[in-house]
Amino acid sequence: MLELIRTRRVIRSMTDKPVKRAHLEKVLEAGRWAPCGGNHRLLRFVAIQNPVTLRLMRKVSPGMSQRPAAAIVLCIDWDQVKVHKIPAHDRAISIDVGTAMENMMLAAHSIKLGSGPVTSFSKEALRVVLNIPQNLSPEVIICIGHAAPKDQMIMIPKKKVTWQSLTDWERYAG
């Protein structure tokens, strides 16, 4: 598991090789098993493999530069937020998006698929393309596909980041 966590990288360039439906299902299953606040399951997933739909999605998602063979859109179901009487500003709601996203990206990596999250898209236009109703808000697109042999456009941090550089023990030391 640690090795998978360490070696997963965001893939920003993909081949046009199709993603098997069974593989996409594995990734979706990993999203289902992500931890979520109160076990409320506020998320809905829209999985896309149709090339025409993917092309339309790209038209409204400037961040979707990798031309993926598949994608999963993670949406918050605001009706469920109300049903469970969760305040709209409760940070667990967006944390849920993050846990599902990471589970899915790690699952993709474990079956040798590349993935990359995209947050730069028009929510309203994506709603139209994917028939997403008003009670759902699309939060992130996870692009999924086979990494191009010469990927990478890695965003290099200005300073080297290690777990030690991120951690203080017992009390924050500044």
Ligand X SMILES: Cc1cc2nc3c(=O)[nH]c(=O)nc-3n(C[C@H](O)[C@H](O)[C@H](O)COP(=O)(O)O)c2cc1C
* Closer CB to ligand X, 49 or 65, in the complex: 65
The footprint of ligand X (CB under 6 A) covers: 9-10, 12, 63, 116-120, 155
Min dist. Cβ of residue 103 to ligand X (A): 13
Beta bridge partners of 72: 47, 142
Min dist. Cβ of residue 133 to ligand X (A): 24
* Contact residues for 105 (Cβ-Cβ < 8 A; gap 6+): 8, 115, 117, 142
Min dist. Cβ of residue 109 to ligand X (A): 10
* Closer CB to ligand X, 2 or 155, in the complex: 155
Q: Is residue 97 a contact partner of residue 74, using CB atoms and an 8 Å limit? A: yes
Min dist. Cβ of residue 13 to ligand X (A): 11
As a whole number of Å, the end-to-end CA separation of the chain is 31
* Closer CB to ligand X, 20 or 125, in the complex: 125
In this structure, what token pair is assigned to residue 17? Answer: 């090789």
- Rounded to whole angstroms, how far apart are CA atoms 110 and 118? 20
Q: Nearest to residue 136, comparing CAs of 27, 38, 42?
A: 42
Tell the residue number behind the tokens 């990478």, with chain if given.
152
Min dist. Cβ of residue 69 to ligand X (A): 17
- Backbone φ and ψ for 47, nearest 5 degrees, come out as -100, 135
* Closer CB to ligand X, 8 or 44, in the complex: 8
* Closer CB to ligand X, 134 or 162, in the complex: 162
